């Protein structure tokens, strides 16, 4: 049992957590990436650990996207997909994460030659293994790689509708935000079809572009949660709208610094977002690539932003509330968070 004298580090370790914003390829640990790189040595990803860590030093978001695409190119078989899911589940379970909504970009795997049914079979098998062996629940979000425009939207939607994994809960949109405008109608149509099929609208926006991107996912894609959303603070009317609607924002502080969206961790807007009364959750995005973990993000919230136990527990509660968990599972995790008090 925790006491009043328990350190904040021990409190964070004991805190039941939910991860809502983490990417399958970006979650691959350094040993896993090295294994894949050595298995497929014909690509640009280094096979030496020191060189790989240097490979993960990003100049800006386009460079990060280039590196991410290179690592994604190592995922060539359904077995590779399952290995990544279980590796992520293992890393998160060790951090007392009870549930994760893992973002998968199936279109990139289709382009690598994997049939949709085989990808889905691998994802389904990994969910069962994670639950039975690791005690963590895994759900999936299928996201459109924005750089592929209408083609990527059609391919992602086709997979989501024709061969959905059993644990598919959401439909997303990621990639470089500045390339989206010419494909706006294709993205809107895909999200409308996904929503009609019962999937939640969970796009990225406001990470590397201004508030107009957030307005588009709110008004055009009917977003139920927004990945990042940090540029909302540049538009007082948008801040007021997000405060009123309480649309959850999946904030990833270390990621934003590593990709050059925020100059330094001490300058991150998360404290101001909380002060503005916005609904914020804390997430890790691509943890090994950014040398972080979900637990590490909670430590940043405590050590850099000055959040105490109550503030950290509130962030953990927000993630549970914003999740796609059934009501019984939500209540159980919320009760465990409250018990720490």
Model confidence over 291-331: pLDDT tens digits? 899 999 999 999 999 999 999 999 999 999 999 999 999 99
For the entire predicted model, the pTM comes to 0.93
What is the pLDDT, as a whole number, of residue 4? Answer: 59
Among residues 106, 47, 36, which one has the least CA distance to residue 74?
Answer: 36
Q: What share of the chain is helix, strand, coil (3-state, %, to 5)?
A: 55, 15, 30
Cβ-based neighbour number of residue 152 at 10 Å: 25
Q: With a cut of 70, which residues of the chain have pLDDT below it?
A: 1-5
- Owner of token pair 């590490």: 296
DSSP classification of residue 285: B
The per-residue pLDDT for 3 is 58
Q: Please say whether the beta carbons of 18 and 320 come within 8 A.
A: yes
Question: Of 325, 276, 270, 331, which is closest to residue 297 (Cα–Cα)?
Answer: 270
Active site residues: 207
Sheet holding 17-23, edge to edge: 17-23, 97-104, 137-145, 168-174, 200-201
Residue written as token pair 């948008």: 238
Q: What pLDDT score does 281 carry? A: 98
Contacts of 50 (CB under 8 A, 6+ apart): none
pLDDT score for 64 = 81
Full DSSP string of 125-193: HHHHHIIIII--EEEEEEEEEGGGHHHHHHHHHHHHHHS--TTEEEEEEES-GGG-GGGHHHHHHHHHH
Per-residue model confidence (pLDDT) at position 13: 97
Q: Domain map of the chain by residue range?
A: 12-339
Burial classification of residue 185, based on how many CB atoms lie within 10 Å of its CB (0-12 exposed, 13-18 middle, 19 or more buried): exposed
Residue 8 confidence (pLDDT): 96
In the prediction, which pLDDT does 2 show? Answer: 60
Residue count (the chain): 341
pLDDT at 40: 84
- Residue 18 and residue 281: Cα distance in Å, rounded? 9
pLDDT of the residue at 5? 55
The answer regarding whether domain 12-339 maps to CATH 1.10.10.10 reads: no
């Amino acid at each position: 049992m925790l006491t009043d004298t328990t350190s904040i580090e021990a409190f964070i370790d004991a805190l039941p957590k939910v991860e809502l914003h983490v990417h399958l390829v970006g979650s691959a640990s350094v040993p896993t990436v090295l294994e894949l790189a050595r298995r497929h040595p014909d690509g640009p990803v280094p096979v030496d650990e020191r060189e790989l860590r240097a490979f993960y030093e990003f100049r800006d978001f386009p460079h990060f996207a280039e590196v991410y695409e290179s690592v994604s190119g190592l995922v060539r078989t359904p077995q590779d997909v399952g290995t990544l899911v279980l590796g992520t589940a293992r890393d998160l379970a060790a951090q007392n994460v009870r549930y994760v909504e893992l973002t998968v970009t199936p279109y990139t795997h289709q382009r690598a030659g994997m049939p949709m049914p085989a990808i889905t079979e691998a994802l389904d098998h990994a969910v069962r293994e994670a639950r039975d062996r690791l005690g963590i629940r895994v759900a999936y979000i299928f996201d459109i790689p924005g750089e592929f425009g209408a083609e990527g939207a059609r391919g992602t939607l086709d997979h989501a509708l024709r061969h959905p994994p059993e644990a598919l809960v959401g439909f997303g949109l990621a990639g470089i935000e500045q390339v989206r405008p010419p494909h706006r109608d294709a993205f809107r149509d895909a999200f409308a079809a996904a929503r009609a099929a019962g999937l939640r609208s969970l796009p990225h926006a406001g990470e590397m572009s201004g508030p107009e991107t957030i307005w588009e996912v709110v008004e055009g894609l009917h977003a139920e949660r927004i990945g990042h959303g940090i540029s909302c603070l540049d538009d007082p009317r948008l801040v007021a709208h997000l405060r009123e609607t309480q649309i959850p924002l999946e904030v990833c502080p270390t990621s934003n610094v590593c990709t050059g969206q925020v100059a330094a961790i001490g300058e991150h807007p998360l404290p101001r977002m909380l002060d503005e009364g916005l609904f914020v959750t804390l997430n890790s995005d691509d943890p090994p690539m950014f040398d972080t973990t979900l637990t590490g993000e909670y430590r940043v919230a405590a050590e850099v932003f000055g959040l105490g136990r109550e503030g950290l527990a509130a962030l953990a509660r927000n993630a549970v509330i914003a999740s796609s968990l059934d009501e019984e599972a939500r209540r159980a995790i919320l009760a465990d968070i409250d018990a720490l008090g």
